[in-house]
Amino acid sequence: MDANIEDILHTLTLEEKVSLLAGKDFWQTVPVPEKGVPAIKVSDGPNGARGETFSGGTRAACFPASCCSASTWNPQLIRQVGHALAEETQTKGARVLLGPTMCNHRHPLGGRNFESFSEDPLLTGKLAAQYVIGLQEKGVAGTCKHFAANEQETDRLTVNEIISERALREIYLKPFEIAVKEANPWAFMTSYNQVNGIHADASKFLLEKVLRGEWGWKGLVMSDWGGTNSTADSLNAGLDLEMPGPTRRRTYRDVKDAIKNGELTEETINDRTRNVLELIRKIGAFKNPEIPAERSEDKPEHRKLIRDVGGQGLVLLRNENDVLPLKKDEVKGKKIAMLGLAKEALIHGGGSASLHSHYRISPWEGMHNTYGKDVEFKFAKGAHTYRLLPPLATGCTDSKGKPGWTLQAFEAGKGSLPTMTIHGHKEAAFTGLFNEDVKWKDLELTTTFVPTETGEHYIAGSGIGPTRVKINGKVVFEQKHSTNDSMGFLFGGNPETEFTYSFTAGQSYSIRIESEAPGKEGSDFGGILAGMPGFRLGFMYAKEHDEDLVSQAVNVAKECDYAIVFTGHTPVWETEGQDQAAFHLPNKDRSQDKLVEAVAAANPKTIVVNSTGVVVAMPWLSKVSAVIQAWFLGQEAGNAIADVISGAVNPSGRLPVSWPKHIEDAPAHGNFPGEKKDGQLTVKYAEGVFVGYRHYDRMSQDKVQFPFGFGLSYTTFSLKDARVSQTSNGKFTAEVTVTNTGRRAGATVAQLYIGRSKQSSEHPIKTLAAFKKVFLDAGTKEQITLSIDLRDFAYFDQTSYKWKVDNGRYDFSFGQSTQHIENVVSVDIEGASRELKL
């Protein structure tokens, strides 16, 4: 039988209630077994249930990133993803999945864009709702995150975002509102940042007024990890659960003192505790309190689903002279150059979304799986794509004569005997990730290095705290301050300056790395990485560093009938913890752009397959025959790419974001990532509601590389005979006939945008109000129906504090992208301005 929450609540002491309001450890809540309250386990993340280990650990299914899922424009497919992720979550002993991530793509350099769906709140909300429904139909709680306005990673723990209430409600809160009303998620997670001067975890506006008040949502609100910034304020605002544990802000003593001082009431503690107990009930943990050991289940149906989502999410951006598809019977006996990142499986971004996948199929493997021996493939790397020099590992001997390094930890600043010594540490890199044994300790790493080549070689170093590198007792590198981005250091590495040092082959060199515990000046001080030391020393022989990789790739391309260049971001380039380094593809010398240009000049049938979670510059676009935007496709990446290249799958992905030609044309340019004054970073959302296509619609279209909603197919489609009728007060029905006018089966997305016939500078020209993905055989057609409510295109009037649709004429525009509008139906909405219920 279901537990009676009120009965349990009344049996708990105040101390027991308080204990339930913070985690026990990194992934579990606190149990009170004598009162029948079990612990529950949560797991990252939005594209796969990783389990409790950040690196390595139990293998898990890696699904396409949300940017790819959004490109399918297929809510029913994403519901299936929710079902599969629920099953994966249960294999990790968890019943709460920390996803979906639902923040909008405000700027192309957003470090976590890949983890979110779209620039458009309606598309994000509709897809996220189905994701949550899929999870919860299988008994696993979805966690909508990060609430709210977590659009950048720079200074993410403290940044203050100044946002008008209209923009906040129309753009940044709307996806969450849709998810609440259509899916009723069981959990929310607050963001790290401040919104208009108040941390999200303590925002009564967000949690009390909007989420639980206007939207009427009942569920559990948890903090992001280390994102609880107060005791009384967060509890009063509605933050139920501080994560992770053990608590930093909710000790029994702190809470009791707050009650004694009148800052808190026991009724508030009861409310917060009740929400924790309700979540335990919803996920069935009272009935079955067991948290089983993690296990790995590689299910064939999950493999197929991941491949299907990848195939529907890939976006064909360019296809001159129909160079694609490369049909198997037409390329038999041909030579295909596979260049760049062809042997890298770019399946996910970095940070919370990363996991130890069951397997990972690279494009090289996927193409061989598809074409077999009928095609001869040739490979050349073509470009350096590392972000940091690889850590020095080979040729090293520790103090015991074993391969590797000797790592020692010392009490900070005491110069005493080491508290920890490890011999055989494999490389010149270390992070004390959540390791209490090294917290607030100084570290030393020593080795004897014997190089195999003579000459100047490349070195680079960095640390979370102040760090020095000595070779034969001489300081060759020094970082005097703690990093401002320890999370960035952990997930991708802070920028490092390379320098050279002359070595002689066969000679022994003593290398010592001294890294102090981080000081309080770092921006992550007080976060979950507070006090955790870390450092790295990169090394590369000059021969490898200065090798002419481009010429090698060009020579291979010249030999082949087709050249496919695989570009993109490895997880260290696109990751939680830091925003993008640049709009251009990496490495720092734009090596991938140079590779594409050189190969395109050498082979007229050059195809680019780009795997990033964000839009990037494409200065070479007009010089190549075809471009596929592959996103991060999950563990079946290579197979999904090969399906589209070979024509086994007709591409049907459509862009969930606008693609500017230049970063200067982005709506948030000049207001990202903000300005720092007296140590406080503030970012003004000065573009207001004009985000993404809402901004580009007002500009010359030559500023846009590819419009929102765009994507090519191996067939063609048309939208005709559009009609709109008002079915009841405030509701409309739109109909349009979709025809496959080409020679093969495929799918397109019918998109309906609504805007004022007489344009206004205060409002977007048009707003996405409905969409439907349509699958059709060649030569067939289907009449589709779209339902629209006034709220789908209403605006928030800050003066009257109401949602409104003003009286007047509105254009209902039917198209296949924001720039490909095929039918426009004008509708008069008569009467006074309509004030809509919140």
Active site residues: 224
CA angle, residues 749, 755, 759, in degrees to nearest 5: 140
Kindly state the tokens that stand for 755: 């805007």
Closest CA to 161 of 110, 234, 211: 110
**CB under 8 Å to 160, separation ≥6 — which residues?**
193, 194, 196, 197, 680, 681, 682, 683
How far apart, in Å, are the Cα atoms of 760 and each of 677, 764, 791, 810? 36, 8, 19, 12
C-alpha 490/C-alpha 578 separation (Å) is 10
One-letter-per-residue 3-state SS of 724-740: EEEEECCEEEEEEEEEE
Closest CA to 64 of 297, 314, 362, 310: 310
C-alpha 103/C-alpha 121 separation (Å) is 9
Q: What are phi and psi of 583, to 5 degrees?
A: -75, -25
Closest CA to 585 of 645, 629, 639: 629
- Omega within 30 of 0 (cis) for the link into 348: no
Kindly state the tokens that stand for 793: 């295109």
C-alpha 369/C-alpha 708 separation (Å) is 33
At residue 143, the 3 state secondary structure works out as strand
Kindly state the tokens that stand for 288: 């079955």
Element (H, E) at 37: none
- The sign of the CA dihedral 750, 109, 317, 313 is negative
**CB under 8 Å to 615, separation ≥6 — which residues?**
108, 657, 658, 659, 660, 705
C-alpha 489/C-alpha 246 separation (Å) is 24
Q: What are phi and psi of 425, to 5 degrees?
A: -60, 130
